[in-house]
Amino acid sequence: MRVVVTGTPGTGKTTATERVADGLDLDVVHLNRLVKDEGLWTERDEDRDTLVVDLDAARDELGDWGGVVESHLAHHFEADRVVVLRCRPDILEQRLLDRGESEAKARENRESEALDVILGEAVEFHGEDAVYEIDTTERDPDAVADDIAAVVAGERDPSAGTVDFIDYL
């Protein structure tokens, strides 16, 4: 079983998947860490203060993987199920500011979340029947981890399009 957990930065992917890994016997790959550790990027985007990931190199590095891959780019990888973590845009923006992101980066991610950018890409790449939305707004990370575990176990129905933050634009 291959499950990717994706979402706008600040939605809680890393925290939740670390707790899923602790609760289940699953390998979890934190793609952003792998990219940095293995040099799987092509350039640094100075304006956005981020690395441009070489997705082909990352796919090659993962090989024939199983378990969970987590990243805001994870939906670009082949998977059986795609979990998209969501968060109310104003709270997401504050989370990013609290962890030291620039105002411009926090604002860009707030807008992306309100516009369903990652959800739209996930549905486009994988189809609605493979996508599971989980709203992390003001939720305990253990509860989010339980929801992800339910997706992994096949105990939850696909739910693309159930979270709507368009009013936050």
Note down pLDDT in tens along the chain; length 169 residues: 899 999 999 999 999 999 998 777 788 999 999 999 999 999 988 887 788 999 999 999 999 999 999 999 999 999 999 999 999 999 999 999 999 999 999 999 999 999 999 999 999 999 999 999 999 999 999 999 999 999 999 999 999 999 999 888 7
136 is in an annotated binding site: no
10 is in an annotated binding site: yes
Joined tokens for residue 140: 């305990």
8 is in an annotated binding site: no
105 is in an annotated binding site: no
Backbone angles phi, psi at 93, to 5 degrees: -60, -45
Say if residue 34 is exposed, middle or buried (CB neighbours under 10 Å; 0-12, 13-18, 19+): middle
Q: What does pTM read for this prediction?
A: 0.94
Joined tokens for residue 107: 């604002």
**What is the pLDDT, as a whole number, of residue 24?**
76
Burial 113-130 (b: 16+ CB within 10 A, else e): bbbbebbebbbebbeeeb
To the nearest 10 degrees (0 to 180), the angle between helices 141-152 and 13-23 is 60
Cα separation values, 54 from 20, 26, 28, 47, 87, Å: 27, 25, 20, 18, 27
> Within its chain, how far is the Cα of 8 from the centroid?
6
**What is the pLDDT, as a whole number, of residue 169?**
77
**What is the pLDDT, as a whole number, of residue 26?**
80
14 is in an annotated binding site: yes
13 is in an annotated binding site: yes
Joined tokens for residue 152: 């992994």
Q: How far apart are CA 18 and CA 35, in angstroms?
A: 18
